């Protein structure tokens, strides 16, 4: 039987990965007055200073229209915005496999 991994667990693993690679980041906690669709994790690409916005979802999670629009706005503005369902998604989207030792 496949174990369900929660969004919180995925978020923790992604934040741990970003920390290992020295990527400054923070978790966004939604509250009244927050920008609709703002991503769960905001980070700064170390060498370029580009913004990275990561919306964390479980395997079955669905992006809301606000979340889709937010990520599209980030990408249109020259940032990096994407949905991650695992650390592997982050490794792929940020090209971290080139920096990993095997």
Q: What is the pTM of this model?
A: 0.92
pLDDT band at 4; cut points 50, 70, 90 = confident
The predicted model gives 65-74 an average pLDDT of 98
DSSP string of 28-66? Answer: PPP-TTPPTT--SEEEE-TTT--EEEEEE--TT----HH
Contacts (Cβ under 8 Å, ≥6 apart) of 73: 81
Q: Residues, the chain, total?
A: 102
DSSP string of 62-101? Answer: ---HHHHHHHHHHHHTT-EEEEESSHHHHHHHHTGGGG--
Per residue in 9-47, pLDDT (tens digit) is 999 999 999 999 999 999 999 888 889 999 999 999 998
**pLDDT above 70 covers what percent of the chain?**
94
pLDDT band at 102; cut points 50, 70, 90 = low
Class of domain 7-99: alpha beta
**Calpha distance 97→84 (Å, rounded):** 16
Measured in degrees and rounded to the nearest 5, phi and psi for residue 52 equal -120, 125
């Amino acid at each position: 039987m496949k174990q369900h991994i929660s969004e919180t667990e995925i978020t923790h693993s992604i934040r741990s990965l970003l920390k290992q690679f020295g990527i400054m980041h923070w978790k966004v906690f939604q509250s009244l007055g927050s920008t609709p669709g703002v991503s769960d994790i905001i980070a700064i690409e170390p060498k370029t200073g580009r913004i990275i916005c990561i919306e964390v979802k479980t395997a079955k999670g669905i992006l809301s229209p606000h979340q889709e629009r937010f990520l599209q706005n980030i990408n249109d503005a020259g940032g990096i915005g994407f949905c991650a369902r695992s650390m592997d998604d982050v490794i792929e989207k940020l090209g971290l496999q080139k920096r990993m030792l095997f």
